[in-house]
Amino acid sequence: MVLDNKIALVTGAGNGIGAASAVAFAEAGATVVCADIDLEAAERSARRASQVGPDAMAVQADCGDVASIEAMLDAAVAAHGRLDIILNNAGVTRHAYIMDITEADWDRMNRVNAKGVFFCLQGAARRMIAQGGGRIINIASVAGRGYVGTSNAAYAATKGAVISMTKTASQQLGQHDINVNAICPGVTLTPLVQKLLEDRAEASGISFEEAKAKAAKPIPIQRANDPEDIAAMAVFLASPAARNITGQAYNVDGGLVPS
């Protein structure tokens, strides 16, 4: 129970990596705050987390809106008195060729994936500075490192931004005993990726299973991630074992993309 007595906030906790991480944090002993724009999904994850660890709570939050981010952080601290860990996981994308990306696509992805991660990071850091430290973990992607199979170029740009802000934030927040790291998932079987694979299958005239096999084929270990693979890395980075690790972006991708 390496996270006993810790308060952990997970954004985008309604499904996929966020839901798996909420459960994994709870299993490690943390009290989890599940945040999602879909309150019912957040409540579902909170119930799952509560079954394996301390009572979890759900909050509704739009991680592309700074006022909503602040309300989310305030709710977590008001309920528990502190915030020890934040996993900035909320994100959006769609499958699109570079010439088909619209201004609305660019704005939507940057609003959540880049702006949202930054202001979640900043807001959490403000509270962590006041209490004497904490852990910030950002979900980036191998897309930010040039993965050829990325959903689109705008998404890749947002994830590159997450990697960059992680490194800079770690340098500036280390003096406050705040560790800042990123996880770069490879192909991970979340509902979002399932939808992308369905779109690719339809566009290519192949079956979903063929699209799934095609996505896994370049992976040296020949296996896509389950969300729990990313959750396990998040628990490690939040744990005492990672106390001297900061400013890093770890690929969890089966060897798909060089770091």
Q: Is 154 helix (H, G, I), strand (E, B) or coil?
A: helix
Instruction: State yes or no: pLDDT of 1 exceeds 80.
Output: no
Q: What is the mean pLDDT of the chain?
A: 96
Query: pLDDT (tens digit, 9 = 90+) per residue, 36-87?
Result: 999 999 999 999 999 999 999 999 999 999 999 999 999 999 999 999 999 9
Q: Which residue is catalytic, options 97, 147, 155, 250?
A: 155
Q: How confident is the model at residue 205 (pLDDT cuts 50, 70, 90)?
A: very high
d(CA 201, CA 256): 21
How far is residue 86 from each of residues 137, 139, 181, 199, 224, measured CA to CA in Å? 6, 11, 11, 32, 25
Active site residue 155: yes
pTM for this model (two decimals): 0.94
Q: What mean pLDDT comes out for the span 95-120?
A: 97
- Which tokens belong to 94? 């769609």
Q: In the chain, what percentage of residues exceed pLDDT 70? A: 100
How far is residue 100 from each of residues 153, 197, 256, 258, measured CA to CA in Å? 10, 18, 26, 28
Q: Which domains does the chain have, with CATH numbers?
A: 7-188+226-251 (3.40.50.720), 189-224 (no CATH)
Specify the pLDDT at position 194.
85
Q: How confident is the model at residue 243 (pLDDT cuts 50, 70, 90)?
A: very high
Specify the pLDDT at position 181.
99
Q: Is 16 helix (H, G, I), strand (E, B) or coil?
A: helix
